[in-house]
Structure 1
Amino acid sequence: MNVASILKGKGGNIITAKADDEISAVAALLKEHGIGAVLVVGEGQALEGVISERDIVRGLAESGSGCLGKKASELMTSNVITCSPADTVDEVMSLMTTRRIRHLPVMDEGVLSGFISIGDVVKSRIDEIETEAAAMRDYIATG
């Protein structure tokens, strides 16, 4: 299974923010959509960064409530690690674990095509294991 199959199952809706959006607006987006991170995009959906709950918590710890008036560009991670639709579930699981990240933008030939979370990856792997187990049970049952 690969990233393309994860995106096919979850759909292509990508929640984004702009670099000059206030952190309070980004936090409202996270709450509204029940997500842990948004992509920060510029002109033509060009990927500029990722801002997550962790970034906002770090900003609050460093600046107090004043960070809510800061711009997304001030707290976002701009050195973004990405994956491609062809990457396998095992590859992205390893990347996320090694780099201690929970969200990966999906780039297809330089174009943003999706955004996956560790939850999406784990769900995909569990589905794959359940399918394999069912196939094994059927094989054993039919002799």
Structure 2
Amino acid sequence: MRQVKHLLADKGSVVHSVSPAAPVIDAIRMMAEHHVGALIVMDGQRLAGIVSERDYARKVVLKGRSSSATPIAEIMTTEVVTVSPEDSVDHCMRLCTERRVRHLPVVDADRVGGVLSIGDLVKAVISEQTEQIEQLQRYIAG
């Protein structure tokens, strides 16, 4: 099974991040601009949390709060589930399922080196299964 580092090599390691002090509206604009569902919250070089569209919907919209007056620190998730570059795709899929998260920051030596989404993981699993099916078909045919 492929490892996180292989997925990042294919996908790239761009990390879209915001400050905990920034207003929520900035995060929502950035998510829309980059077509992502979550942003890493960085306090300087330190991973402080993650903020997602789900956080916005549940902690701002449903509570009638102002997107421009609410800082990200008030709605972000601080107990971030992370993975390392050496972790397997299977391990990441289990984490997403068990912890009910859709985004996994990749941390190596206390440095955020990328983010994997559930979509990235599903794509990797489908690709691996397709390769296995093709190998089996070649084996049977030849």
TM bucket normalised to smaller: over 0.9
The TM-score, its normalising length taken from structure 2, stands at: 0.94
Gaps of 5+ in 2: none
Work out the CA distance in 1 between the residues paired with 2:136 and 2:68: 53
Structure 1 position 135, deviation (Å): 1.1
Runs of 4+ in 1 over 2 A off after TM superposition: none
Q: More helix per residue: 1 or 2?
A: 1
Secondary structure (helix, strand or coil) at the match of 1:24 reads helix
1:85-100, aligned counterparts within 5 Å? Answer: 85-100=85-100
Matched, 1:17 2:30: no
Letter in 1 for 2:91: E
Secondary structure (helix, strand or coil) at the match of 2:39 reads strand
Matched, 1:131 2:128: no
Structure 1 position 137, deviation (Å): 1.3
In structure 2, the partner of 1:28 is: 29
How many pairs were matched up? 140
The TM-score, its normalising length taken from structure 1, stands at: 0.93
Gaps of 5+ in 1: none
In structure 2, the partner of 1:57 is: 57
Secondary structure (helix, strand or coil) at the match of 1:66 reads coil
Structure 1 position 74, deviation (Å): 0.8
Letter in 2 for 1:37: A
Structure 1 position 113, deviation (Å): 0.9
| Segment drifting more, 65-74 vs 81-90 | 65-74
Structure 1 position 65, deviation (Å): 4.6
In structure 1, the partner of 2:6 is: 5
Letter in 2 for 1:135: Q
